[in-house]
Amino acid sequence: MSLNSQHPAYISYHDQWTLLRDFYKGEEHVKQAQDKYLLPTSGMQMDGMGLQDVGRKAYNSYLARAVFPDYIKDAVEISIGLLHQKEPVIELPPELEILRNNASIKGENLIQLLRRINVEQLITGRCGLLLDLPTISDPTNPIPYIALYTAESIINWDESNDYIDTDCVNMIILDESGYRRASLGMFNWKIMMQYRVLVLDESSGTYKQGIFNNNTGLSFAEDLLFTPSLRGKTLDKIPFVFVNSKDLLPLPENSPLLGLANITAAIYRGEADYRYSLFMQGQDTLVVVGSVRNPNLAPGGDNAIRTGAGSRIDLDVTGDAKYIGVSSNGLAEQRTCLENDRKRAETQSGRLIGTKSNVESGEALRVRIGAQTATLNQIALTSAAALQEILQKAAMWIGADPSKVKVIPNMDFADVDFQGQELVNLMTSRNMGAPLSLESIHKVLVNRGLTDLDYDAEVAKIPLENKQFNIAEPNAATKVAKQPNQTVQPPQPIQPKVGK
């Protein structure tokens, strides 16, 4: 049985994932793909695309002048900055606390792992989390670790109910191929083909896995499967969580950045055409009308036809010489088209967030950013649900309480400056009879980052500071306390009026 067989959905989405991955890596990586993303013109193809053909040389120049915009990378970086503007809240049972700072085999903490999940959700819209046994751990207290697999690594799976009469996933194949050192004492590298097979046993319903590589053979053999056991406990489900951008289902879905990638590809091709046209504008062709006195001289010789300062063309009396070039009529249209595409790309990549007027209120800015980042809400909630589910599986495997696992993502994507006038407006509204308590106002201040104290601690702290800095308590008339930098003016005597 072939271990590299691929699920039909994997085959359908693989080209999309490749494009998005290449665009995220940037211009150098995209240009290495050459005509995969930038096709040669018909003239180049007619001149030949062999290594030494004129068409290939023209295409290499065409490719070198093209500009590839990094909108995909910008969109990912901006989105990750918004998603992790504030740290998520992660609650764990005591038995899993060790995972908070050491969750993966690479030593990542849970927040770093969540950030990497979000990156994959943005680029390809898909990844997976596997709960696996530690290779080296304390034998008295073994804790599983979490391994992240990219969309391209999850090559095959089965969620049908025709295997063991259940709707849960019963087979997953993970491609772990990559470069490995030839041996511990050597410094050269070689490609190791390796596949990890995760299955539910058909007879017992027990979770099993096996690793197949160049050393063990790349053909599936059931006798090489083993049953992972932790503290003497096995599992009846595969401890794997599929993570898409909007759900945790096995079937993949389009990346949230696919539309931006298509615009980026259009800009890349348009930039190549535009700059090629600009180049051709400066490469006019010399046309000679009539007889030339030195027509048979070899090109490049001392008396051959040349142009530029210090050159000379000898013509008959009736002859003429002139330049003709490519028309520039279409350049303006090309430039306008590129400008419009760039504006659309910048909007989708998030560059325009926060560019409105400075007088825009904080709440209006929050509403606008909320509309622009609706996709981030789905990504944040989905990634938190995935991390929570895999941690709950870990808790159940080691005998801890899974209900104590909670992952609450950051949903506040707007870093809006709090204006003093907003607090004045809130207090004024309250004093005028609005049903608004001081505790509710304090919650606003907490949400806007002005304080991290709870209401009771804040109230208890105020009289202590007033006493420490000799600040008078608010009186019944003004409700406003004297501030430390205010000086008390002595009362002025009333001057008697002098009669006329």
Predicted confidence at residue 206, as pLDDT, reads 93
Is 394 among the domain residues? no
Please count the CA atoms within 13 angstroms of the CA of 489 that sit on its side-chain side. Answer: 3
Is 36 among the domain residues? no
Is 304 among the domain residues? yes
Which of 148, 117, 120 has the alpha carbon at shortest distance from 20?
A: 120
Angle of helix 71-83 relative to helix 110-123, nearest 10 degrees, comes to: 140
Q: What letters, b where the CB count within 10 A reaches 16 and e where it falls short, cover 156-192? A: bbbbeeeeeeeeebbbbbbbeeeeeeeeeeeeeeeee
Q: Which residues fall within 8 angstroms of residue 46, CB to CB, at 6 or more apart? A: 55
Is 312 among the domain residues? yes
Decide: 66 and 271 in contact? Cβ < 8 Å: yes
Predicted confidence at residue 82, as pLDDT, reads 87
Decide: 117 and 386 in contact? Cβ < 8 Å: yes
Please count the CA atoms within 13 angstroms of the CA of 28 that sit on its side-chain side. Answer: 1
Q: Which domain holds residue 320?
A: 284-324
Predicted confidence at residue 237, as pLDDT, reads 92
H helices of 289-437, in order, are 331-349, 362-372, 374-398, 420-431
Is 461 among the domain residues? yes
User: Given 324, 354, 376, which residue is the final one in a domain?
Assistant: 324
Instruction: Tell me how crowded residue 202 is: count the other CB atoms within 10 A of its CB.
Output: 11
Is 190 among the domain residues? no
Phi, psi (5° rounding) for residue 145?
-115, 165
- Interior CA angle at 316 toward 313 and 317, to 5°? 115
Amino acid at 40: P
Show the tokens assigned to 233.
């406990």
Q: Which residues fall within 8 angstroms of residue 484, CB to CB, at 6 or more apart? A: 469, 470, 471
324, β-bridge pairs: 285
User: Given 294, 324, 354, which residue is the final one in a domain?
Assistant: 324
Decide: 5 and 156 in contact? Cβ < 8 Å: yes
Which of 270, 305, 211, 243 has the alpha carbon at shortest distance from 65?
A: 270
Residue with tokens 């019963």: 170
Per-position pLDDT tens, the chain of length 500 = 689 999 999 999 999 999 999 999 999 999 999 999 999 999 999 999 999 999 999 999 999 999 999 999 999 998 898 899 889 999 999 999 999 999 998 899 999 999 999 999 999 999 999 999 875 556 677 889 999 999 999 999 998 766 555 568 999 999 999 998 877 778 899 999 999 999 998 888 899 999 999 887 788 888 899 999 988 899 999 999 999 999 999 999 999 999 999 999 999 999 998 888 888 776 777 787 876 665 545 555 555 666 666 667 777 777 888 877 667 677 888 888 998 988 888 877 765 444 444 444 555 545 545 555 668 889 999 999 999 999 999 999 999 999 999 999 988 776 555 677 888 888 899 889 889 898 888 888 877 778 878 888 888 888 888 888 888 766 544 454 444 444 555 556 666 666 54
Predicted confidence at residue 358, as pLDDT, reads 45
Is 431 among the domain residues? yes
Residue with tokens 């080296």: 136
Predicted confidence at residue 214, as pLDDT, reads 84
Q: How many domains does the chain have?
A: 2
User: Given 324, 350, 376, which residue is the final one in a domain?
Assistant: 324
Is 355 among the domain residues? no
DSSP states of 247-291 as a string? ---SS----TTHHHHHHHHHHHHHHHHHHHHHHHHT-PEEEEES-
